[in-house]
Structure 1
Amino acid sequence: MSSLLWIKALHIAFMVAWFAGIFYLPRLFVYHAESNSAEVHQQLKTMERRLLYFVTPFALLTLILGLILIYMYGSAWFAQSSWLHVKLVLVAVLYVYHGYCFKLLSDFKNNRNTRSGRFYRIFNELPVLILFAVIILAVVKPLLY
C-alpha cells in the first residue's frame, strides 16, 4: 500500500481528533462563563486545560502530515490546486482560533473572563463552518481561479 495513503489516513485521523477537542472546548467555556459556583469553576479550569493540551499535539500532527502530503504531491500539483490555497487559508484561521483558545484558557485560569456564555456559543460555531468548507474543498476540489 502506498505511503501516501497512510499519510493521508493519519492526517485525517489526527484532524478528526483535533476537531473533537476544538468542538468541545468552547462548550466548556460556555459552562464556565455561565456558572457562579467556585467548585464548578475549578473543575472546568482543570478540564479546559487538560483538553486543550491533549488536542494540541493532534493539531501539530495534522499540520505536519498535511505539509508532507503537499510535498509528496509536488509543486506542480500545488500550483494548480486553487482549492487547496483557499483550504490552507481556512486552516490558518483554525490555527489562529486554536491559539486564541490558549488566551481564553488563561483568562479563565486567572479569573479574568469578561465574555458571556452567548459569546462562547457563537465562538463554538466558527470551526464547524470552517470544517464544512474545508471538507467541501478537499472532496469537490472546485476550480476557483
Structure 2
Amino acid sequence: MLWIKSLHIVLVASWFAGLFYLPRIYVNLAMEKDPAATARLLLMARKLFRFMTFIAVPALACGLWLWLDVGIGRGQGWLHAKLGIVVLLLAYHAYCGVLLRTFQRGENTRSDKWYRMYNELPVLGLLGATLLVVVKPF
C-alpha cells in the first residue's frame, strides 16, 4: 500500500507540474508576435500536454487503487470532496487541450492577463485536495 501511495504522490506531483506550466506557455503564446517563437512554444505546449495526459492516467489509477482496493477514505466525506476537486482538475486539464487547439488554429482571442489568472486555478485545487487529505475535516 505504501508503494502505491508513494507512486500516486509522485505521479500527481508530475501531473501538477504540467498543470502549472502549460498555462504559462499560453501566457507567452498570447504575447508572442514572432512566427518562429510561436512555433517553438506550440511545440513545447503539445509535448507538455501529451506528457500531462500520459502521466494523469496512472496517477488516477493509483488513486482509484488506494480508494477501491485498499479502502483509504471509503465512506468518508473528505474523500468525496477530494474526488470533486479531482473532477474539476480533470476538466481544467481537458480545457487546457481545448485552449491548445485554439492556439494551433491561430484563433486565440484571450489576453496574456487572462492566462495568468487561469494559471492560478490548479493552485487552489492542489491546496484544497491537500488540506482534505491531511486534515480530513469531515
The match for 2:107 among 104, 112, 122 is 112
Percent identity between the aligned chains?
45
After superposition, residues 91-130 of structure 1 pair within 5 angstroms as 91-130=86-125
Which amino acid is the alignment partner of residue 91 of structure 1?
Answer: V
Taking structure 2 as the reference length, the TM-score comes to 0.96
Alpha-carbon RMSD: 1.1
Structure 2 unaligned segments of length 5 or more: list them: none
CA distance in 1, matches of 2:71, 2:12: 22
CA distance in 1, matches of 2:45, 2:54: 15
Q: Which residue pairs with 1:44 in the alignment?
A: 41
The match for 2:58 among 55, 61, 70 is 61
1:38-63 Cα deviation digits (max 9, x unpaired) = 11111111000001101211111111
SS in structure 2 at match of 1:36: coil
After superposition, residues 16-35 of structure 1 pair within 5 angstroms as 16-35=13-32
1:4-55 Cα deviation digits (max 9, x unpaired) = 1111100000000000111000000000001111111111110000011012
Runs of 4+ in structure 1 over 4 Å off:
none
